[in-house]
Structure 1
């Protein structure tokens, strides 16, 4: 990616006095000139502001600390942000604890502040904590459960705000110091949100009301980042009055978004609640059930993959969530829903953000590519494989690899890419503490981001990012974008009988009754063995995935063969003889003309079919042509047979005749 070489740099917060540096050129031994040279070596892009910040800091802590500051700035990702944050924290009217100047503490503070401008605000009031070497000890106890006290609601709300900021700061430090990886950070931030919502209910006196809180989105999947909004809805039991519950919920939302002058804790989004933005603020369980059954479709299935109860004092929610899970996974993910999902993804990719190569979330090979792939595979296979259900993408990728829906290489590459993207996203958000899914345009900020992630320069980060995004995109296209294309309503039944665990008899009769089989029911039971093989070693979600995409083409080829029943029987025997059906189906899907050739062969000559099946090595040689994507025609395939049959004397003579 080409980037402008102009270094802008954003101004740090606060007012800077006009500086009269004089028109004469400083002498090389001038202390101010030496400082400016040091700033230049540190990559500082706003030297005038840095000079002002440094003077103020040294005025507070002493001129003898100057070299110590410059040494510490060498390890900071963004020296501009470090100096600006240091000035804000140490030069305020309330002063600072002098222990911050103890050995190691000041250095630790400067490094943390270099992660981004918001770190100064986050660390305010917690300077001794954040500079303590033991601040990130006991990661299993992060976040600590709060003990919120106070004489009135306002004091308890402020206590909750202070606790939340301290625990968020601990989580940030754990990731910056390598105590947490990005997955553990997501869990910790989600646990923090869980504790916060329960405490908010307690502060407002709503902890014992028969109501519940359901988390959705990244919060539901335990993947919150440092600047996530939280998707949620509240729900109450049927006989619970609306008034008290709605009063508490309004108070909770007010507390989360800023209360009594305190810093907002979360942006909240209730648009996904039952009834949407026009529905009741706190619907009953029955209202939610009725709404869900009335409007539930593909979008609702995707949304509720990541739903979980955070707080529950109701009797009816567990049953409702069980019904929702049944709806999400027990209905087959049929052709119309697959194509609807593909259409949504295409719209997203055609948006300005989707076409932006700097976009981490919806751009090429970005976070959305991984989420679409995982949710598509969960809906495709979750009916049969319960282990892949759930809202956490990291867990789902591991389980999809374990059951064979992804190969081990694909699972490892997508998991590595997703971890990397999320880590870049976290550090990008720390630079500004707001939702920012684009790589910085400013070269200085991009360089600071690279340093915070452990890279020496921007090019190395960009190379690492491009490599992972290309891998993600390639896997998404082969398993999602490129399959099920060109099919319409006429092929929906063919796809359904493969994807459904128990397809309806009416669909079976309609599909197989239209393909010239002597006994459609027998043909269904035979071809069903392709989707659910008798041999355990051939059972593969990935094979069923590609077979569903191939099946309309396969049935058309069988119908046009001289003997459809024989062609179907021999094709099934061929797959059972070869093994590795997922690879075979994938190659036939990519080369439908080869599928037609194979079926024609099996439908024309039972003897030749059995000859090939009884000499597995010959069949493997023929199939290798398909697996290596070599062009195949009837003539080239027959020539391949003649060449492969050399040495099989009696059979060869009959075949050649």
Structure 2
């Protein structure tokens, strides 16, 4: 081997010995390659990065001359023209995966782009499989629905692809679905167990059959899975109808305290299973502070709040997390921390899977493999430790942060409080509060039961407090029964409600008040009692709204000095 630039690139790589061997093997097939690598910085960077990170892709580069040409121009996708046969499609998939991986490893694309690129690759395999049906995809009467990470366009390098099938005619649809699966499985592992009744259920159902199942039998986790349902190919009208029907049921059903308990139980069961295998500390997916901690927290908040806030319904984790942060359902600092940690954890997962293109989520338990992973992640030996030690140290800090935020979000008392609200107080479809949907007599009866005496004035205050379609007004609509109950514990519920209306006047103030309620239900309860006790203190809070957050502290109002509240 010759060439100073190439030698230096190999020495700087994550696996110098392995890269040198791979380059020697490539040079045996193409004697001009070394000179080409010496003169082409982009090709040199891509090839060295790929063969350092992935033994399986290194073998692809040696076995298929087209692989080197892919690395020479990472902006050009391999043509599907040569994929007329099933073997040709499988070869195209490997070459496109190589291109996506190279762009990832040299830093051209970030995590969301990589995940979307891998999902698009899978979509095209499925489209090609449907195109081989005798009737063609549109006339087949079969729609292919992506679920899981494929549905969310955030696929891994070695992910299974989760699919469901809906058909006009289930008999003909099953034949078509099996033909699609036969082709798709030459390129991917395919999981169809998310369908109703899992492995015991039929592979293909009509839309009416899905709807009947959702309406009568579906469990909470099955609705959670529908967060990521996305039509991919086949009969587009049928796929769109499936997506619309699934969304309607997902976002109009009541998410109850039983549902919350089921989601938490399912998460705990997965953690217990991992602990019994002794992998809690090494699993980056399901371990403490891992990928699932972020995904479950995001999905739980989507299920609770997405019914009233359409902006939260993205199937993609990072997009949904960003919206949760913008809306204040997750604190801005926590949202940034989770975004950073999710990108890190998924990058680690990607690097683990690239080695042999296998579905791996566990950190290596030997120092050599761990050091190689750390070097692929960009770490190098330093004064404070080896690359592996520095990597693990940083990873553990991120996992601890994720776990802390996860536990705060996943077990926050407001979720339990919100889901304890009776369903007949749910907001109406037009943003009307539960009180506005009741008759005047019914409203007065309820208010009287809570201790309110001035019905007309109280109804007006309720309408002003909950009016509108903003996030803060929707949260007030959801919290209304709790607020009324808390106000009823005060000496003067009527004055308390008027005080809340005063503190929430203006969208900015309403948003801050809603955020304070969301952060601390106990602070909200204390505030309701306080504003129903003292008009003087209510006016003080009006002029010093920052004091409201102090009510949620462990000491309550007494955590501030008397003069501050006086």
Give the superposition deviation at 1:401. 3.0
Q: 2:60 aligns with which of 107, 117, 122?
A: 122
Give the superposition deviation at 1:277. 2.1
CA shift in 2, pair 1:134/1:80, >3 Å: closer
Give the superposition deviation at 1:257. 2.8
Greater helix fraction, Structure 1 or Structure 2: 2
Q: How does 1:73-88 map to 2 (within 5 A)?
A: 73-79=10-16, 81-82=18-19, 85=22
DSSP 3-state at the match of 2:99: helix
Structure 2 Cα separation of the partners of residues 550 and 589 of structure 1: 13
Structure 2 Cα separation of the partners of residues 220 and 396 of structure 1: 14
1:254 aligns with 2:182: yes
Counterpart of 1:216 in structure 2 is 147
Q: How does 1:627-646 map to 2 (within 5 A)?
A: 629=553, 631-632=555-556, 640=562, 645=566
1:448 aligns with 2:372: yes
DSSP 3-state at the match of 2:421: helix
Q: How does 1:169-568 map to 2 (within 5 A)?
A: 169-203=98-132, 205=134, 207-208=136-137, 209-238=140-169, 242-243=171-172, 245-258=173-186, 265-313=187-235, 315-353=237-275, 356-456=280-380, 457-484=387-414, 491-493=420-422, 497=426, 501=431, 514-518=449-453, 526-527=461-462, 529-530=464-465, 532=466, 539-540=470-471, 552=482, 554-568=483-497
- The answer (yes or no) to whether the contact 1:335–1:496 under 8 Å persists in 2 is no
The alignment's C-alpha RMSD in Å is 3.8
- The answer (yes or no) to whether the contact 1:198–1:207 under 8 Å persists in 2 is no
CA shift in 2, pair 1:413/1:254, >3 Å: same
Counterpart of 1:96 in structure 2 is 29
Give the superposition deviation at 1:449. 1.1
- The answer (yes or no) to whether the contact 1:335–1:492 under 8 Å persists in 2 is no
Q: How does 1:161-172 map to 2 (within 5 A)?
A: 161-172=90-101
- The answer (yes or no) to whether the contact 1:361–1:367 under 8 Å persists in 2 is yes
| TM-score, length-scaled by structure 1 | 0.72
Unaligned runs of 5+ in 2: 381-386
Q: How does 1:132-143 map to 2 (within 5 A)?
A: 134-138=72-76, 142=77
CA shift in 2, pair 1:114/1:328, >3 Å: same
Pick the structure with greater CA Rg.
Answer: 1
Structure 2 Cα separation of the partners of residues 278 and 413 of structure 1: 41
Structure 2 Cα separation of the partners of residues 215 and 169 of structure 1: 23
Structure 1 Cα separation of the partners of residues 373 and 193 of structure 2: 33
Which range moves more in the overlay, 347-356 or 500-509?
500-509
Structure 2 Cα separation of the partners of residues 123 and 113 of structure 1: 8
- The answer (yes or no) to whether the contact 1:546–1:589 under 8 Å persists in 2 is no
Give the superposition deviation at 1:331. 3.1
DSSP 3-state at the match of 2:355: helix
- The answer (yes or no) to whether the contact 1:77–1:451 under 8 Å persists in 2 is yes
Cα displacement string for residues 276-331 of structure 1 (whole angstroms, at most 9, x for unaligned residues): 32333232333333333332342222111111111132644322321211111233
Structure 1 Cα separation of the partners of residues 318 and 328 of structure 2: 16
CA shift in 2, pair 1:290/1:340, >3 Å: same
Structure 2 Cα separation of the partners of residues 550 and 313 of structure 1: 44
Aligned pairs, number = 542
Counterpart of 2:383 in structure 1 is none
CA shift in 2, pair 1:630/1:544, >3 Å: farther
